[in-house]
Amino acid sequence: MTPFRLWVYLQTTPLFWLTATLAAFLVADALAKAAGRRPIVNHVLIAIALLGGLLKLTGTDYQTYFNGAQFVHFLLGPATVALGVPIYADFALVRRNVWPLAAALLIGATVAIASAVLVAKAFGAPRAILIALAPKSITAGVAMAVTEALGGAPPLTAVLVIATCILGAVIVTPLMDALGVTDYAARGFAVGLASHGIGTARAFAVDPVAGVFAGLAMGLNAIVTPAVIPALLPWLIG
């Protein structure tokens, strides 16, 4: 078999791009680890950049790539359901703080959606961008599902979600210290709601109580934002 025919063969099986996806992730994760897991060096973003570069280099279209990578992508569904387990485990905390949590959750989730969409709209961003931006404060799997249900572009959402994640993790500590907020439950809840995953990791690094409340906010917002967006978005986009 000539190298060219071998390559053509590899393109037709899912094996090559599935393996490449795991390889890119492992390389990206090693890089993030070497950088001391600073929020700005995000392994998901690096893996996406590596694979994007590889597609361009080899002239492969996204559909061919996805034929292989879909096996990883499929697991996002059951993984989203699996978030129910840690959310349930944190429910004791909800019962003790039910009113502050409920109020902060509903108002915070609404501000997260509305502020992003309205600012981008003021800049004249097209509808596709506004839809992709709306769920940016929730965990990527759920956010992409929300965008897809609204007829938007899930990949745009994935990138915006990760950018939000990094921003929140970088901003939260200096902002809260400057304001003199010493209630770590409140600080954690705010960062988990605004910037989910990395925000939560950041909160755990600062204070264990902040970490638990950040995880709780991330979980609850993954339920509230998908429920709020379909009602809020038509009104915001107009």
Partner 1 sequence: MIRGFFILLAFQLVGEVAARGLALPAPGPVIGLALLVVALSLYQRWRPLDEETLAESDLGKAARGLLAALPLLFVPAGVGVVQYMGLLREQGLALAVALVVSTIATLLVTVGVFLLVKRLTGARGEA
232 binds partner 1 per the rule CB under 8 A: no
Question: 6, 128, 177, 237: which one contacts partner 1 (CB under 8 A)?
Answer: 128
Enumerate residues 6+ apart whose C-beta is below 8 A from 55.
61, 62, 65
Tokens standing for residue 193: 């709601």
Closer by beta carbon to partner 1, 1 or else 80: 80
Q: Is 56 in the site for partner 1 (CB under 8 A)?
A: yes
Residues that contact partner 1, how many (by CB under 8 A):
112
Q: Which of 124, 151, 180, 238 binds partner 1 (CB under 8 A)?
A: 124
237 binds partner 1 (CB under 8 A): no
Buried b or exposed e, range 203-216, using 16+ CB within 10 angstroms? bbebeebbbbbbbb
| Choices 7-15, 33-41, 109-117; region in contact with partner 1 by CB under 8 A | 109-117
Is 16 a binding residue for partner 1 by CB under 8 A? The answer is: no
- Least separation in angstroms between residue 168's CB and partner 1 is 5
C-beta of residue 156 within 8 angstroms of C-beta of residue 180: no
Q: Where are the beta strands (DSSP E) in the chain?
A: none
140: which 2 tokens?
């990527």
> How would you class 127 by CB atoms within 10 Å of its CB: exposed for 0-12, middle for 13-18, buried for 19 or more?
exposed
In contact, 26 and 50? CB cutoff 8 Å: no
Interface with partner 1, residue 195, by CB under 8 A: yes
Report the nearest approach of partner 1 to the CB of residue 123 (Å): 3
Cβ proximity to partner 1, 7 vs 66, nearer residue: 66
Query: Any contact of residue 163 with partner 1 (CB under 8 A)?
Result: yes
Contacts of partner 1 in 67-106 (CB under 8 A): 69-70, 72-73, 75-89, 91, 93, 96-101, 103-104
Q: Are 143 and 121 in contact (CB under 8 A)?
A: no
Q: Does 159 bind partner 1 (CB under 8 A)?
A: yes
Helix (H, G, I), strand (E, B) or coil at 136: coil
Stretch that binds partner 1, among 8-16, 33-41, 154-162 (CB under 8 A): 154-162
| CA–CA distance, 187 with 201 (Å, rounded to integer) | 13
- Residue 141 binds partner 1, judged by CB under 8 A: yes
